[in-house]
Amino acid sequence: MSKSGEFRPVSESQIVLKELMVPSYENFGGKVHGGVVLSLMDKIAYACAASHSKCYCVTASVDKVDFLNPVEVGEILTLYSSVNYTGKSSMEIGIRVVSENFHTGMIRHTNTSYFTMVALNKDTKSPEAIPGLLLETDEEVRRFLEGRLRRKVRKLQRHELDQARSEIDYDVSDSSLEGENCKVVTPEG
């Protein structure tokens, strides 16, 4: 299953990224743009996945991102990343983001997300087999099993969504949108 029976320790590709939240990151509400945080998460996911696979990788999917707390300008953001699960060519990277306020010393959990990264062959650009994970602690085993479960759930959700979409009745001339916050003004509507 893994690239030529090769397995690499989780600890070898764990990466920590720290960045000061400068004023140019501010949004209209005076907080840090969510997009800045997402961009940092994508960067660290790439670094972690490329470090494990030693391949060029792309982001295939991002599990839900809930911002639990706003990030303030002037805080230090720390992102912790780790390969949780390895498939044949894909990896689930777990990312935990915390913000730290220097003045108060307060550390807050901003969010935790899971990025699925796929390793690609540099010539053909098709998915490339990656090394497996060497699981050395109970926590690494727990993360691997939970990563496997999330992968299964993602596949099921994609399938269920496709199925549900194929069953939508797009004829809204009746009262099928009653109670929704919209008004149909199409020529047919």
> For binding to ligand COA (CB under 6 A), which residues are involved?
58-61, 87-90, 116, 118, 127, 154
Q: Which residue's Cβ has the minimum distance to ligand COA?
A: 87
Nearer to ligand COA, 63 or 100 (CB): 63
Instruction: Return the structure tokens found at 160.
Output: 């269920």
Nearer to ligand COA, 75 or 143 (CB): 143
Nearer to ligand COA, 73 or 129 (CB): 129
DSSP structure class, residue 75: P
Distances (CA, A) of 35 to 27, 99, 125: 10, 15, 28
Whether residue 173 contacts residue 188, with contact meaning beta carbons closer than 8 Å, is answered with yes
Which three-class secondary structure state does DSSP give residue 129? coil
Nearer to ligand COA, 22 or 58 (CB): 58
Least separation in angstroms between residue 51's CB and ligand COA is 17
Least separation in angstroms between residue 90's CB and ligand COA is 3
Least separation in angstroms between residue 167's CB and ligand COA is 22
Amino acid 30 reads G
Least separation in angstroms between residue 117's CB and ligand COA is 9
Distances (CA, A) of 102 to 23, 26, 73, 114, 147: 16, 18, 11, 28, 34
